[in-house]
Chains A and B, each alone.
Chain A
Amino acid sequence: MKRGPMMQRKVRLCLLSLCWLVALGAFPVMAGAETLAWVGGTVHPVSSEAIDGATVVVEDGKITAVGRGVAVPAGATVIDTAGKHLYPGFIHPASTLGLVEINSVRGTIDSHEIADVNAALRAEVAFNADSVLLPPAMAGGVLTTHVVPRGGVFAGTSAVMALRGWNWQEMTLTTPVGMHLNYPQLLPSEGEVSEEEEEEEREKALRLINDTLDAAEVYRQARDAVALGAPTIAFDADAEALLPVLDGTLPLFIWATEKSQIEGALDWVAERQLENIVLVTGADAQYVAERLAEEDVPVILAGVLSLPDRRWEPYDSSYVAASRLHAAGVQFCISDSRRGGGAANARNLPFHAAMAAAFGLPRDVALRSVTLSVAEILGVEDRLGSIEVGKDATLMLTNGDPLEILSRVERVWIGGREVDLSADHQRRLYDKYQHRPRPEKAVAKPGAR
């Protein structure tokens, strides 16, 4: 059938608007749409030494070639990176991005559930794909995040999310990544609650943790018995969620910041013979570094940019923690907030790593601690964290070392798709007010001294 002119115009219009939408970045995840080649700049694979004048080829959103003298496939879109630097995107090791919009507005907070045992929760289902906090994070090179639930004792399961996509489902790269346990504080906190009450609460919390896991074990036995013909039992979503933790197939992320809390948690892990744990902690980890190394506990070190916890500690105690962990041989990565709530300024993640570098952590390890080391600890190193063949093309192009505030992230790609960094709320306001007409002449300053 022959198309009429009207039809042709419609097609043309459609194509035009399609181009327009693509140009606007309206199709965030349409991996595989084109073959890309970054040519000419310095590539920093992280997994190996930087390569000057290198080429990176991406097909179907995956890296297919990296190196000097790599042939650019015919028809590839070439991105000239001469004088620029290509890095893997930063991975936030534990944030509430997408779960929290404005901390003071209760209705915008989806990070903390109210019960003690929230094991069945899945963080990704509450992830707001259009959160205004996401674009500034991407503009800072944070292109993926481990999004964590934070409420209660067992907080629920976490997921690794791309910061761009049409909806949470598309943005979810891996789930569940781990179960999150807020280990009880073992030391009394000053304040309105008496030491006895706190002690009681502490014991209660520990009992709760153990009882919950024991109950899950019993649930499993009952469930297995059902398969053998025993009477049906009620489905227990929390217990179901905890079984992989007991099996060691799902990592248990234990949040414990203070030294005795960390030690208590490690003792508890040994007692329960848990095999697969990750410690989310703060600077006190340096006091337990040898043990963490010995017991092969991966660590998410949060809050390099924090005050020392105690008055007597050296002023740089939070700054040096990472280098102490590194020296002791602990597997670690770096996060920003100790409580996982630092969503709005997730973009400052690399500067935590940089401060650790200023205070003794080798620079390449610092860069790794917010890229490949994060991927390894989260179990997504097959897809993220470095520029290697087979990994996602989740990359940033910078004009210098991305751990330097003075450098700038110029362009970013998630899964081989470029993200338009000029379209976010902050950039729009910048453009708008930058172009506000200037006053003709200065008005006399009233009351000027």
Chain B
Amino acid sequence: MKNGWCIAMALVCGLTTPGWATTGDPDGWKNTQPEAAENLLIRGATLWTSGPEGRLEATDIWISNGVIRAIGKDLAVPDDAQVIDGEGKHVTPGLIDAHSHSALIGGTNEATNIVTAEVRIGDVVNSESVQIYRQLAGGVTTINLLHGSANSIGGQNAVIKLRWGAGPDGLMFEGAPQGVKFALGENPKQSNWGDDEKRFPQTRQGVEQSIRQSFLAAQDYRRRWQEYEAAVAAAAATKGRRRGAKPASTVVPPRRDLQLEAVVEILDGSRWIHAHSYRADEILMLLRLAETFGIRVASFQHVLEGYKVADELAAHGAGASTFSDWWAFKYEVVDAIPYNGAIMWDRDVLVSFNSDSSELARRLNLEAAKAVRYGGVPQEEALKFVTLNPAKQLGIDRWVGSLEVGKHADLALWNGHPLSTYSLCEKTWVDGRLYFDRQADLISRQALAEERQALMDEVRSLEESDDEAAEGDSEDGADGEPAEEVGTDGPPPQASYLRWQDSHDAYCWSAEDGEAVHAGHQHSSSQHGRRGERR
């Protein structure tokens, strides 16, 4: 949580004064990876397994070296095992967000071409994003980082675990199938971009053709490579048998095309499609287009009219990762209803609820509760909307998504019913490591506040001496208020103020505030918003 601020301060201080170390531990900002408990037992909690065992009352769960070792009553564990009294508490699998743009260093949208399958979100993962920690505090352990929605075939995704403190490579979910973002409707056809930006396509018909053309080009590309490989093989086979045969080295390979290579992977089924979509027509279009090429769409994202084509989605085997209740933020979502999840679930579609928002991601359990409120999905099935079902949609359910022996010890401990608005998350483990502990968080606050204060005092004293040297050039000071007025619970000088940094691709137009927000393409909405408000 304190990383960015302290890094910035440490850099400032470290470069300018030799005495900075007196203000704290120079390595203090580095989060050390929490130890994986050798043996940890949560005794007597209510376990929401999201697995075949359903909900288990007053049951123990034993985790050992990063995996779930046993689940049952009165488990006998080694004497040195750490034991947490789970009486009155609830344990769920770590929550999974199938649609996130949270931990990215910008670059969410390569918004130029209609097909950008070659770009990789994995290249812009921001392991220091505080959103990682904030989402751990909401019980989230795995998120699917997706490219934006400006392209019919967008960039490649990255499924990460929220191993707060690890570098970008350390976050990657080992073994997760590779995926790619598709997008249909208003965003790829640039409906809300203003009049000065026109690029093919401008219609849903054009979106369909852009995907079809890309698939056809990829088929052709694959064929050329196959022909080349066949020619090489043939040359190798004839070598030595016939003098004067063309040596393999003279067969010219096709030029490598990274974009088409990725699309070939889509056609081969090794790169999973996660398709941003809203309207029933476009959902049906992509189902049929994919079937023409013999492939399956792994998940439709948002899919707010999925309820209209639920049977078609189920028959195809596509997952649906939707919002619980967002609607009316743009024209293509006027028919979005909060019963979407329930209807699709009722018709055997694999349903998840996602966030597409760093804020919403912190309370996915309450999003799941909306499937109970609207349409009466049973509570345990509703919780699966944010646990097992997104795991299946991302192809990682053999490791995570439910409390089952042998699965990763990714779990969240709640102080009450996990679907209750009055409950909060107390602890979150990833791979058996305790990455969030509310108690520890509360305890650390005072120390963090003091450290921040000390660093700020240091910077201020430097600035004052600089100012003296610069003789009255104090107008440009970094802070507008005297140091003594900044209490430990007050905000710091403006340097650390964060701006709107979510990139919701569904939110081309923000559902909350009528403010135009386009991922990687932000307008300050002159006709609706007042400039000067934070974006």
B492 touches A310 (CB 8 A): yes
Given contacts A104-B192, A109-B528, A305-B363, contact A185 B325 (CB under 8 A): no
> Is the CB of B490 closer than 8 A to any CB of chain A?
yes
Rounded to whole angstroms, the CA-CA distance of A338 and B497 in the bound complex is: 17
Contact of B496 among A284, A312, A343, A347 (CB under 8 A): A312
Chain B: interface secondary structure? Answer: loop
Q: What chain A residues lie within 8 Å of B234 (beta carbons)? A: none
Distance in Å from the Cβ of A146 to the closest Cβ of chain B?
Answer: 17
Rounded to whole angstroms, the CA-CA distance of A338 and B510 in the bound complex is: 13
Distance in Å from the Cβ of B28 to the closest Cβ of chain A?
Answer: 14
- Selected interface stretch from B32-40, B41-49, B364-372: B364-372
> Is the CB of A191 closer than 8 A to any CB of chain B?
yes
Contact of A358 among B337, B421, B497, B528 (CB under 8 A): B421
Given contacts A358-B422, A406-B419, contact A339 B513 (CB under 8 A): yes
> Is the CB of A248 closer than 8 A to any CB of chain B?
no
CB within 8 Å of B: which A278-330 residues: 284, 287, 305-316
Q: What chain B residues lie within 8 Å of A220 (beta carbons)? A: none
Instruction: Work out how many contacts link A and B, with CB atoms closer than 8 A.
Output: 243
Number of interface residues of B (CB under 8 A): 92
Q: Which residues of B contact A (CB under 8 A)?
A: 1-2, 4-5, 130, 133-134, 137, 186, 191-192, 269, 290-291, 294-296, 307-308, 310-311, 314-317, 325-331, 334-335, 337-339, 343, 346-347, 358-359, 362-363, 366, 369-370, 372-373, 375, 379, 419-424, 441, 445, 448, 452, 480-481, 489-492, 494, 496-499, 502, 508-516, 524, 527-535
B532 touches A345 (CB 8 A): no
Nearest-CB residue, chain A, relative to B130:
A311
Q: What chain B residues lie within 8 Å of A284 (beta carbons)? A: 491
Number of interface residues of A (CB under 8 A): 89
Given contacts A101-B328, A109-B528, A355-B363, contact A447 B499 (CB under 8 A): no
Task: Name the residue among A151, A337, A357, A434 with the largest chain B CB count within 10 angstroms.
Answer: A434
Distance in Å from the Cβ of B284 to the closest Cβ of chain A?
Answer: 14
Q: What chain B residues lie within 8 Å of A309 (beta carbons)? A: 491, 497-498, 534
Q: What chain A residues lie within 8 Å of B494 (beta carbons)? A: 187-188
> Is the CB of A445 closer than 8 A to any CB of chain B?
yes
Q: What chain A residues lie within 8 Å of B366 (beta carbons)? A: 351, 405
Given contacts A405-B419, A430-B337, A447-B290, contact A314 B528 (CB under 8 A): no
Rounded to whole angstroms, the CA-CA distance of A182 and B316 in the bound complex is: 51
Chain A: interface secondary structure? Answer: loop
Rounded to whole angstroms, the CA-CA distance of A438 and B315 in the bound complex is: 12
Distance in Å from the Cβ of B297 to the closest Cβ of chain A?
Answer: 9
Excluding A112-B527, A404-B420, 13 further A-B contacts by CB distance (< 8 Å) are: A103-B511, A133-B328, A182-B530, A202-B532, A259-B491, A260-B481, A306-B359, A310-B491, A311-B130, A312-B2, A344-B329, A406-B419, A447-B291
Q: Contact string, A246-260, partner B, CB cutoff 8 A, digits 1/0?
A: 000000000001111
Given contacts A102-B329, A307-B359, A442-B314, contact A189 B530 (CB under 8 A): no
Q: What chain A residues lie within 8 Å of B296 (beta carbons)? A: 445-449
Q: What chain A residues lie within 8 Å of B331 (beta carbons)? A: 102, 104-105
A339 touches B532 (CB 8 A): no
Rounded to whole angstroms, the CA-CA distance of A191 and B346 in the bound complex is: 47
Distance in Å from the Cβ of B189 to the closest Cβ of chain A?
Answer: 13
A106 touches B527 (CB 8 A): yes
Q: What chain B residues lie within 8 Å of A102 (beta carbons)? A: 328-331, 334
Q: What chain A residues lie within 8 Å of B496 (beta carbons)? A: 310-312
B5 touches A104 (CB 8 A): no
Q: What chain B residues lie within 8 Å of A201 (beta carbons)? A: 531-532
Distance in Å from the Cβ of B386 to the closest Cβ of chain A?
Answer: 13
Q: What chain B residues lie within 8 Å of A438 (beta carbons)? A: 311, 347
Contact of A405 among B346, B372, B512 (CB under 8 A): B372
> Is the CB of A429 closer than 8 A to any CB of chain B?
yes
B497 touches A310 (CB 8 A): yes
Q: Contact string, A348-362, partner B, CB cutoff 8 A, digits 1/0?
A: 100100110111000
21 pairs, A vs B, C-beta closer than 8 Å? A103-B510, A104-B330, A136-B338, A151-B530, A187-B497, A189-B532, A257-B533, A258-B491, A311-B498, A337-B512, A341-B512, A351-B366, A405-B372, A405-B373, A405-B421, A426-B338, A429-B335, A433-B310, A442-B315, A446-B291, A446-B296
Nearest-CB residue, chain A, relative to B2:
A312
Distance in Å from the Cβ of A427 to the closest Cβ of chain B?
Answer: 8
> Is the CB of A41 closer than 8 A to any CB of chain B?
no
B498 touches A310 (CB 8 A): yes
> Is the CB of A443 closer than 8 A to any CB of chain B?
yes
